[in-house]
Amino acid sequence: MKKTILTFGILGCMLTGCQNKQQEAVMEPQQENLVVNTIMARRSIRKYKPQPVERETMDLILKCGINAPNGQNKQSWEVRVVDNPALMTEFKEAMAKGHPDMNADMVKGCFRDAPTMVFIARDKSYDFSAYDCGLLAENMMLSAWSVGVGSICLGSPVRFLTDNAECAPCLTKLGFSEGYELCLCVGFGYADEEPAAKPRDWGKVKYID
């Protein structure tokens, strides 16, 4: 019952325009559409407070993720969530050992110390699975921001975890099905920074008559 109340409370917050401190700092005040506000206000967060995201909140974010558009409704993704600090430390140590030619702190820091990490795998048998996984990740990041949770999409951990035998036990622990391979990592947590928006090049967009 408490879980249900919390979920509806979060949804109510989304629908009534509840905004966290990060959003207030970067929101364009002339915008009134809540979806547009969230898209325009979202930032990649690279510094987090230590507490993990509550699992009830993560459940909502994950449900938004798997409701992303996807080719032929194949839902060609698998998702694993790690919020256990000891397990994340194990992953970081394995990655550092697997890349002795690189700076260990740099390798370990590629997760940006996000306290909750989502690992997304794609179906290798489906050509468009990587696109599906990207749409899944975007849905999660936008819904996370709307409820006060920061996020960052990461590619480096995929390379560090998949290009050496030292990290094979880590991938085994994630338990992806046969035929799936790690495609994306997304970190989630409560922001400990308020980054400014980076400029976007509107010149890359053209109407063709």
Report pLDDT for 200.
94
Model pTM greater than 0.75? yes
Where do the H-state alpha helices sit in 27-181?
A: 34-41, 55-66, 85-98, 104-108, 129-146, 156-162, 168-174
Structurally, how many domains does the chain consist of?
1
Q: For residue range 43-74, list pLDDT tens digits in order.
A: 999 999 999 999 999 999 999 999 999 999 99
Report pLDDT for 187.
98
Please, what is the average pLDDT of the chain? 89
Q: Let me know if residue 201 belongs to a domain.
A: no
1-10, 119-128, 187-196: least confidently modelled range:
1-10
Rounded-to-integer distance, Cα 42 and Cα 141, Å: 8
Q: Let me know if residue 14 belongs to a domain.
A: yes
Cβ neighbours around 51 below 10 Å, total: 11
Q: Let me know if residue 146 belongs to a domain.
A: yes
Report pLDDT for 31.
56
Q: For residue range 88-97, list pLDDT tens digits in order.
A: 999 999 999 9
CATH of residue 25's domain is: 3.40.109.10
Q: Let me know if residue 70 belongs to a domain.
A: yes
Instruction: Note down the domain range covering 36.
Output: 2-193
Whether residue 86 is predicted with pLDDT greater than 50 in this model: the reply is: yes
Cβ(82)–Cβ(116) below 8 Å: yes
